[in-house]
Amino acid sequence: MINKRNVKILISIIIFILVIVLFSKEPPRPYSNPADIVRLSELTLCKGLEDSTNRPIELEILTVENTTPLFVCGYLKSHKSQPLTIYWKFRGDKQVPFYKNRDQPFSPGYFASKLDIGRPLSPGIYEVEVHLYRSKIGHLEFDIHP
Amino acid sequence: MDDGCNSEGCGGLTQLLKHEYALNLARGEQKVNGQKCREGDRNHCSVLKNTSELFLYKVSPSTIGVHYGSYGQIGNMAEIGTYRETSHVFNWRTGQYAKMKTEGYYGYMGAPEGLAGGFYVGTTKVRGSSDIYQLQGMSLDAQGQLGLDFGLEAGASKQTSLALSSEENKFIKDPVSKMYINTQQTSISISANIAPTGLSGAGTFGLSDTTIVDSYQIPWWP
């Protein structure tokens, strides 16, 4: 028998089913931890990518004079472009990064991202961190000589 | 990393002493950085150029937006539920926009719903996040809600979420702001359930997973 209460039950069930249907249309989760399927290797400092080979141009020695331009280079192994964020800072325990690169997205293969604050870097030890979402997938330290 | 051995020499020292050396070096560097920054060498200053910028991170949400979603739950006073949500958010500090999908599960304690399903819409604000991509991942959620329930229910809710790290299930701090990434949502909802109570109130606690499905960086953003 259809009474008011039964109508409500029916409405609830219908809405519940509707919700379940809506859920099934969600896109599949690509991954829970991006670092599981994305690999970063050969992280180093360089002078950019060579036009002909698309490989990093090696850097000999780091002095104040040759830090402009300076690039962080690496090889990204992934099935698609990834929004890497590159943080870099002068080394210090509590110091927060003073620069963040927002080049994006990074295509699979070799990449070069410019570390540029518009003037030569002063001597000392610097740290570079490469993040993919909340995961740190690469880390590099370099020393600039006077 | 220089554990102190490169500059000081560590022949025959214990791990503990090496660690002490490393800490002393780091503390020394911090002092040097602060001094050089004050003298005008910007390389030694942090990205948070002054305390007002840090203050901004603390008092204002770096990311704002809207969300909408649907949910379903089952039980009797102690209930379990799940929701799916879409949000559109904008980080005004970096000029990044993102469309995100969230899938969540929760435990519910409060006025009995029996079997319920509904839809909601509201505003989102995130504190502490310096980059939109920090929003993708798992979060721990807590929510309080109130409603007028006559079978069909109209309600309002407040939810707070803390971001968890990808590698280990602990709260993550943003690399720039050094703050926990805290998402706060205010929503209104319309739903139906089989156990009307007139006035209803409840609290929920759960886990959610957010994925960025689309994003855009405004190129000219300062």
Which one-letter DSSP state was computed for residue A79? S
Looking at residue A58, what is its pLDDT? 83
Q: What is the mean pLDDT of chain B?
A: 81
Looking at residue B39, what is its pLDDT? 61
* Contact list, B1 vs chain A (CB under 8 Å): 141
Interface test with A, best of B135, B172, B194 (most A CBs within 10 A): B194
**3 state DSSP class of A4:** helix
A117 band by pLDDT with thresholds 50, 70 and 90: low
Distance CA B36, CA B38 (A): 5
Looking at residue B102, what is its pLDDT? 92
Instruction: Tell me the shortest Cα–Cα distance from B78 to chain A, in angstroms.
Output: 18
Distance CA B27, CA B61 (A): 32
Residue of B183, B206, B176, B165 whose CA lies nearest to B98: B183
Q: Is the separation of the CB atoms in B175 and A88 below 8 Å?
A: no
Instruction: Tell me the shortest Cα–Cα distance from A3 to chain B, in angstroms.
Output: 13
Residue B22: closest C-alpha in chain A: A93
H or E segment and range at residue B20: helix B15-38
Q: Does B6 touch chain A (CB under 8 A)?
A: no
Q: Is the separation of the CB atoms in B210 and B164 below 8 Å?
A: no
Q: Do B131 and A117 count as a contact with CB atoms less than 8 A apart?
A: no
The DSSP-derived string for A56-69 is: BPP----BGGGGSS
Looking at residue A126, what is its pLDDT? 83
Which one-letter DSSP state was computed for residue B43? G
Q: Do A32 and B131 count as a contact with CB atoms less than 8 A apart?
A: no
The two three-digit tokens of residue A51, written as one number? 């036009």
Q: Among partner residues B47, B70, B215, which is closest to A19 by beta-carbon distance?
A: B70
Single-letter amino acid code for the residue at B164: L
Looking at residue B195, what is its pLDDT? 85
pLDDT tens for residues A2-61?
577 766 776 777 677 667 656 655 555 555 556 667 889 999 888 889 988 889 888 777
Q: What is the mean pLDDT of residues A51-80?
A: 82
Instruction: Tell me the shortest Cα–Cα distance from A65 to chain B, in angstroms.
Output: 15
**3 state DSSP class of B134:** helix
Cis-peptide into A27, omega within 30 deg: no
Looking at residue B192, what is its pLDDT? 87
* Contact list, A90 vs chain B (CB under 8 Å): 33, 43-44
Q: Is A129 exposed, middle or buried (0-12, 13-18, 19+ CB in 10 A)?
A: middle
Distance CA B194, CA B118 (A): 12
Cis-peptide into A105, omega within 30 deg: yes
Q: Do A16 and B114 count as a contact with CB atoms less than 8 A apart?
A: no
pLDDT tens for residues B149-203?
988 899 999 999 999 987 777 899 888 888 899 999 999 999 988 888 899 999 9
Distance CA A29, CA B100 (A): 12
Which one-letter DSSP state was computed for residue A38? -
Name the residue ranges covered by the structural domains of chain B: 10-44, 55-217
The two three-digit tokens of residue A6, written as one number? 């039964």
Name the residue ranges covered by the structural domains of chain A: 34-144
Task: Indicate the range of A55-59, A63-67, A87-91, B18-22 predicted with least confidence.
Answer: B18-22
Query: For the range B33-37, what are the long-range contacts, defined as Cβ-Cβ under 8 Å and sequence gap of 24 or more?
Result: B33/A90, B33/A92, B33/A95, B36/A122
The reply to whether CATH 3.30.1460 applies to domain A34-144 is no
Q: Do B101 and A27 count as a contact with CB atoms less than 8 A apart?
A: yes
Q: Is the separation of the CB atoms in B113 and B78 below 8 Å?
A: no
Q: Would you give the distance in Å from CA A100 to the centre of its chain?
A: 11
Looking at residue B41, what is its pLDDT? 55
User: At B31, phi and psi to the nearest 5?
Assistant: -65, -45
Those residues of chain B that have pLDDT short of 70 are 1-53
A81 band by pLDDT with thresholds 50, 70 and 90: confident
A–B interface: beta-carbon pairs under 8 A: 146
Instruction: Tell me the shortest Cα–Cα distance from A11 to chain B, in angstroms.
Output: 7
Q: Do B191 and A141 count as a contact with CB atoms less than 8 A apart?
A: no
Looking at residue B145, what is its pLDDT? 96
Q: What is the mean pLDDT of chain A?
A: 76
